[in-house]
Amino acid sequence: MDLSKLGDLMRRTQSAILEKERLIKGTDDIQPAVGTDGVRVMMESALTARDRVGVQDFVLLENHTSEVAFIENLRKRFKENLIYTYIGSVLVSVNPYKELEIYTKQHMERYRGVNFYEVSPHIYAVSDNAYRAMRTERRDQCIMIAGESGAGKTEASKKVLQYYAVTCPASDHVQTVKDRLLQSNPVLEAFGNAKTLRNDNSSRFGKYMDIQFDFKGAPIGGQILNYLLEKSRVVHQSHGERNFHIFYQLIEGGEEDLLRRLGLERNTQQYQYLVKGNCPKVSSINDRSDWKVVRKALSVIGFSDDDVEELLNIIASVLHLGNVQFGAEDGGNAWIAAETQIKYMSRLIGVDVAVLREALTHKKIIAKGEELMSPLNQEQAAAARDALSKAVYGRTFTWLVNKINDSLAFKDDSRLTSKNASVIGLLDIYGFEVFQNNSFEQFCINYCNEKLQQLFIELTLKSEQEEYESEGITWEPVQYFNNKIICDLVEEKFKGIISILDEECLRPGDATDITFLEKLEETLGGHAHFVTHKLADGKTRKVMGREDFRLLHYAGEVNYNVNGFLDKNNDLLFRNLKEVMCMSENKILVQCFDREELTDKKRPETTATQFKNSLAKLMEILMSKEPSYVRCIKPNDAKQSGRFDEVLIRHQVKYLGLMENLRVRRAGFAYRRRYEVFLQRYKSLCPETWPSWNGRLVDGVSTLVKHLGYKPEEYKLGRSKIFIRFPKTLFATEDALEVRKHSIATKLQAGWRGYSQKTKYRKLRNSAIAIQAWWRGILARRRAQRRRQAADTIRKFVKGFIYRHQPRCPENEYFLDYVRYSFLMKLHRSLPKSVLDKSWPTPPPALAEASELLRKMCMQNMVWKYCKSISPEWKHQMEQKMVASEIFKDKKDNYPQSVPKLFVGTRLNGEDINPKVLQTLGNEKMKYAVPVTKYDRKGYKARTRQLLLTGSSAIIVEEAKMKQRIDYNALKGISVSSLSDGIFVLHVPCEDNKQKGDVVLQSDHVIETLTKLAICADKINSININQGSITFTGGPGKEGIIDFIAGSDLIINKAKNGHLSVTAPRLNSR
């Protein structure tokens, strides 16, 4: 089957399925599963999204020789925040210039112990792969991180250390080592990093760190090697750059007492070594908080307070030394213009001021065994000052690294043997550097990168060849550029650039940078990778200076300016300055400047030779370890997130040798996997291998690829792996799998749903049966218990009823208690609700006395509550009603009709009574007034009158005239009939001349009127209720009679017998 047609068919089918999913789900975008969040997704799983996010391994690029395709793949992944991509086992990392949520502890756990290609590319995958290889194969590992300044090398090394700190086994000692490994970073960054034009935290030295692990895989120690610290930065910085961080951290973050002791001011502009770059502040750097981090880190690593004090004394002394200015005498000899700075410095490093002053302005010359002091001119003195500053800082940095190594060193050597200890190396080295003006430092750095590239190609080819041979596949030689010719050009004995440079530095006579350049032209003039302005053709001369030489590196052409090469290579310090440093009382400086240097007649090695030897040792270290590679790229010079500068990235891809690396990796087969992995992933594409293959793995893979239509030239079967030559073959297979997944997923979902529902039903059924059985048991036990209790109760009740008349005994106590309880509960439910309710349940004989006491208490309580609730007005009303009840109840026929009616205070208001009457009463208070009808004693003529009751008398008033006053003391009695009429008679004594006789009155409110009168006159017992007739005195010797007859209507008239006849209806029968 044609694989290209198969791929097209699969892609069209996949598109149709995705479109269907969009219609069903109502979504606009179906996102493929890409491992951006660290989820365990195999590399092949992301291939279906390659059009959007590129491929995770550059080896799978169809056009692997195209630099444009390479950079476009980087662009796609960078746009999706996928900053990591593989070239085989090499990790390419693009600095995102922003925080990404892919470095959490959760992500670390996802990469822990997982096969390298089972997860999306990540620095954690490289770290874990190296760690597992160290544990399983017992071989030392090395992770080499390279890239230019600002590409993220330091951050990558931090991530590796953090990964090991979190995921490795831990104990108290191991935790201490982890903390020290992590805290060594901020210390080394403070003393070895600086702000450059390309990077705000650029490492200005190379660093190789060994992390030692015990047999359990726990970190137990470490060692750091440093290379080529950029000491020249101490005395000079380009515009826009800064000195090492520690100077700014000390000035900005140091406590006031500390700065006062060191003689420093909180102003970086006061120090000559800090103003040359004209960049005291950086927005991305907080020197004050970084100072706190560094102080804490020094404490964690194990620096004592004395160590820190001595170290800060040296840092401050370098700043003071930079402020030492020289003047010139008449003879041209230098002298120190101001003594303040040199006094501070002498105090801080513990040397005599005079000795230090002389050492800075003179140099010691030994001629024919005699020592002579030769004065320096102003320029020489400034150069000596700067040389001393660089030497002090450089040696202090070396001491600092050694001190950290002592802290990290594993102390118990008895446990650390070759059988149970392993090492992972971490190389954070400068990448290939090409600036506008390249000097000695760039020459050394690029020489280092040539050596690393040589090692990289050799190890990569070696690894590829070993894998092919182990799998029984014929190795085809790979054509590649061997940069050994460039390495020899630099390091070859007698004829290499370093040898020529050393020879020029050591030869007697007037050697200069120009004579060095001439010597290079003379010795290397015919070399294919070397050219100077003099040796170049006309076109090349236009872009080269007369003091430049050009090397054709593996990564491209670089022009180097020879100015400063000899001085930087010699890096000499006058003898008397060394002597002064050896005299210092500062314990660190005494260790940095060994007195044996003064007696050693051998000339010290040059900087280039030292670097070459260190590099050779580093190559030996790296060759002894299994390498892993991380190549860091910065996307732009502006340090902006999301910005992709194609020109800058193409430059880095070239100088990092990534295309060469890809070409070597793709020289054979683009893709390889173990049989079990390949068969497990793709077995669903073949009916014979799905759902499982029971034969040999190689036979299963062979059956699968034949079914897929692989052509013989597209793949090879090794001993344990399948090798696929072209990426398109893998892409077509992956696309077919993506389509197949839908039908598999449907079957799996149906099967799983059926199984889960059956399982759920069985679980629910068993649970229901268990609950029902349990509940039935509870109900049965409850019923049995209730039956037993009922039987006991009935038995007690019957027995108690039989013995109910006996004294209290065990047989009848339950019955008696029940009877008492029943009575009390009945009483509780039927207590009287008011004082008028006289009901009370009949008690049993045993509770008769108690019942009576309870009844009285209940009545007293209700009375007390009622009395508490009535108002004074209502009390007065009740008192009057009680009097009325006492007088008229069951005696007067219309009394019941008066009971519900309230008695009023008076029936006549002030305006109803004539003012003259009120005037006549004066201060006498009127208590009650009511209109009445008076019947004459003769003829019984009815006359309208008013009856006024005061505190002492009853007064009968006719309009404005008081007709009669009857004192209460003179009132003999009051007579009223038993019928419903309103006639009453006031009896007065006949002997009283003021009174004409008894008074016959009629009132519509007779009950109220007589009650008020009885209360005011205190004549409650003097009211007579008569039946039939009333006899009254009409005057002296005269009597009158009032006859009362029951009738249907009220009629009052004079009868024929001369009596007053009153006919009144009977309202109530008595």
Catalytic machinery residues: 149-150, 154, 199, 202-203, 431, 433
- Half-sphere exposure of residue 916, counting CA atoms within 13 Å on the CB side? 6
Kind and range of the H or E element at 225?
strand 219-227
**Where does 793-950 show beta strands of DSSP type E?**
926-935, 942-950
Q: Are 284 and 98 in contact (CB under 8 A)?
A: no
Q: Are 1050 and 1061 in contact (CB under 8 A)?
A: no
Q: Are 359 and 593 in contact (CB under 8 A)?
A: no
SS3 831: coil
Per-residue buried b or exposed e for 712-746, using 16+ beta carbons within 10 Å of the residue's own CB:
eebbbbbeebbbbbbbbbbbbbbbbbbbbeeeeee
Cα–Cα distance, 627 to 139 (Å, whole number): 10
* Virtual torsion, Cα 60, 61, 64, 66, nearest 10 deg: -170
- Half-sphere exposure of residue 672, counting CA atoms within 13 Å on the CB side? 18
Largest CA distance in the chain: 189
Phi-psi region of 850 (alpha: psi -120 to 50; beta: other; left: phi over 0): alpha
Cβ-in-10-Å burial (0-12, 13-18, 19+) of 225 comes to middle
Both structure tokens of 440: 């000695």
What single DSSP character describes residue 841?
P
Q: Are 48 and 123 in contact (CB under 8 A)?
A: no
CA angle 31, 125, 674 (to 5 degrees): 85
Q: For the chain, give me the number of helices (H) and strands (E)?
A: 36, 31
CA torsion sign, 1056 to 1061 to 1064 to 1069?
negative
What single DSSP character describes residue 49?
G
SS3 1065: strand
Q: What's the distance, CA 620 to chain centroid?
A: 47
- Half-sphere exposure of residue 766, counting CA atoms within 13 Å on the CB side? 6
Which residues, 6 or more positions from 418, have their beta carbon under 8 angstroms from its beta carbon? none
Cα–Cα distance, 879 to 193 (Å, whole number): 109
**Where does 159-203 show beta strands of DSSP type E?**
193-194, 202-203
Q: Residue count of the chain, please give it.
A: 1070
In angstroms, the Cα distances linking 351 to 309, 342, 354, 356 are 16, 10, 9, 7
**872: cis peptide before it, omega within 30°?**
no
